[in-house]
Amino acid sequence: MTSAILKPVLLILSLFSFSLHSVAAEQAAESASSNPRVVIDTNQGAIEVELYPQQAPKTVANFLNYVKQDFYAGTVFHRVIKGFMIQGGGFTQDLQRKDTLAPVENEAFNGLPNKRGSIAMARTNQPHSATSQFFINTADNAFLNFRSKSMRGWGYTVFGQVIKGMDVVERIENSRTGAGGVFSQDVPLDTVIINSIKIIQP
């Protein structure tokens, strides 16, 4: 008798648990699908990136501000290091630095790792100095992650992930490099131009 009563109760509890799991999964999927996406169109192909405003709100807002102003059109990937990252968004094709907006606060403590395919803000040695320049990790670079709120521990803010076009990233990563402009090394000898960065999902 007890067994007969328990079976339907357990079935109901199981269905309730499954329902909660389904709702949570749907909410997570909806949240992810609502994240803004951009396409970085280059002369080597297109790179689609999903941005994470919940984890890096100030950084994403800063980046999208530059995007909306067409700031990145005609800039280049000026620093390429195989097995590490490709960096761009701050120099013209003749390697002149562009004027930028005020720096954005470092949000590297958000828990997003500098893993392969992630996009992060470039900066100087000062933790809160990032402006327009960004880089795409071509390897898992854990040493760039946040460790502590100290000069050496702040790390570099990840604010998105490449979801299409890693083959383009790899093509850029494999560029022949050398000296150029004010840089003594790591500049692609065949200019890698950012034609535009456009928002494709608000």
Contact criterion met (CB below 8 Å) for 174 and 82: yes
For the segment 156-184, what is each residue's pLDDT rounded down to a tens digit?
Answer: 999 999 999 999 999 999 999 999 999 99
- Please give the C-alpha separations between residue 175 and each of 9, 95, 161, in angstroms, as whole numbers: 63, 17, 22
Residues of the chain with pLDDT > 90: what percent?
Answer: 82
Confidence of residue 59 (pLDDT cuts 50, 70, 90): very high
Hey, how many other C-beta atoms are within 10 angstroms of the C-beta on 29? 10
Give alpha helix (H) positions in 76-165.
none
- pLDDT at position 144: 98
- Give the span between the Cα atoms of 43 and 128, in whole angstroms: 31
Query: CA–CA separation, 172 vs 21, rounded Å?
Result: 41
pLDDT of residue 2: 53
Which of 2.40.100.10, 3.30.420.40, 3.40.50.300, 2.60.120.480 is the CATH number of 36-201?
2.40.100.10
- Which tokens sit at 143? 């040493």
Domain ranges of the chain: 1-34, 36-201
The pLDDT value recorded for residue 19 is 47
Confidence of residue 41 (pLDDT cuts 50, 70, 90): very high
Given a cut of 80, whether residue 97 has pLDDT beyond it is yes
99-147 pLDDT tens trace = 999 999 999 999 999 999 999 999 999 999 999 999 999 999 999 999 9
Checking if the pLDDT of 4 tops 60, the result is: no
Q: What is the pLDDT of residue 37?
A: 98
Counting every residue, how long is the chain?
202
